[in-house]
Amino acid sequence: MISLGDMILRLTVAAALGAVIGIERDLRRRPAGVRTSLFVCLATALFTILSAEIARRFGDTGSTRIASNIVQGIGFLGAGAILREAGGVVGMTTAATVFVEAAIGMAVGGGLYSVAAYATGLVLFGLVVIGWCADRLNLKRRIMVFRITASQADNVATEVQQLLAEMKVTIRHLRASIAGINSIVELEADVSHSQQQKIVAHLNRKGIVTEVIPFEGHHE
């Protein structure tokens, strides 16, 4: 039998661990922030406690029946974080984070504090450290369309080609046209988020408008 004090402690620890993960998600402006992460861990911890307590009170031998259904139910919540944009599928990391938050909540609900704390540390390591490495090494890329509008006096096409050559970014398609007094350069490139920001920052000056749009089409 779990005492009331122990139940409160488990729920509090689960909520705290979920909130810690949620803070990282909020800082990165991702779905499933502090409140969502807190509630996921809290709910799964509560379900785990109830699963054992209800089974004990009613003499049910299947004490893990409720807890086992958490694994199935949490999939629906995670699926809600996955979106399909023109440039591909986004939200997979958030969905996976929600899934592991449920496992952490269940661990705390079962009284496995050390396991839950260590798992939380691993999640933060994956989100922060590995995420930082992926950004630095430009591992996560998406096909983006850059549309640069400038006055005809600016040789933007040459400038863009030189910039992307220096960044070792391959241009898939490049189109240049003239609309009135403006010259328009459109190109498709497979870039990481940091490379995208660098390109926009480099071209961001008076007389130049840079638009970045996810590539619309089929790609492997």
Residues 26 and 96 in one domain: yes
H helices present in 28-91, as ranges: 34-58, 65-79
Beta bridge partners of 212: 146
Q: Are 187 and 161 in contact (CB under 8 A)?
A: no
Let me know if residue 219 belongs to a domain.
Answer: no
Which pair of tokens denotes residue 140?
A: 């996560």
Alpha-carbon radius of gyration of the chain = 24
pLDDT tens for each residue of the chain, 220 residues long: 789 999 999 999 999 999 999 999 888 888 778 999 999 999 999 999 988 888 888 776 666 667 677 877 787 777 766 655 544 556 788 888 999 999 999 999 999 999 999 999 999 999 999 888 877 776 677 788 898 888 764 577 888 888 888 888 888 888 888 877 788 888 888 888 788 888 888 888 888 888 888 775 434 3
Residues 19 and 107 in one domain: yes
The total of other beta-carbon atoms located within 10 Å of residue 195's CB is 19
Q: What is the pTM of this model?
A: 0.67
Can you tell me the distance from the alpha carbon of 210 to that of 205, in angstroms, rounded to the nearest whole number? 10
Instruction: Give the amino acid at 86.
Output: A
User: Which residue matches tokens 């998600």?
Assistant: 25
Give ∠ CA 202-205-209 in degrees, rounded to 5: 95
Beta bridge partners of 29: none
Residues 200 and 120 in one domain: no
Residues 36 and 82 in one domain: yes
For residue 135, report the phi and psi dihedrals to the nearest 5 degrees.
-70, -45
The total of other beta-carbon atoms located within 10 Å of residue 210's CB is 19
CATH of the domain at 183: 3.30.70.260
Residues 113 and 161 in one domain: no
Please state the domain count of the chain. 2
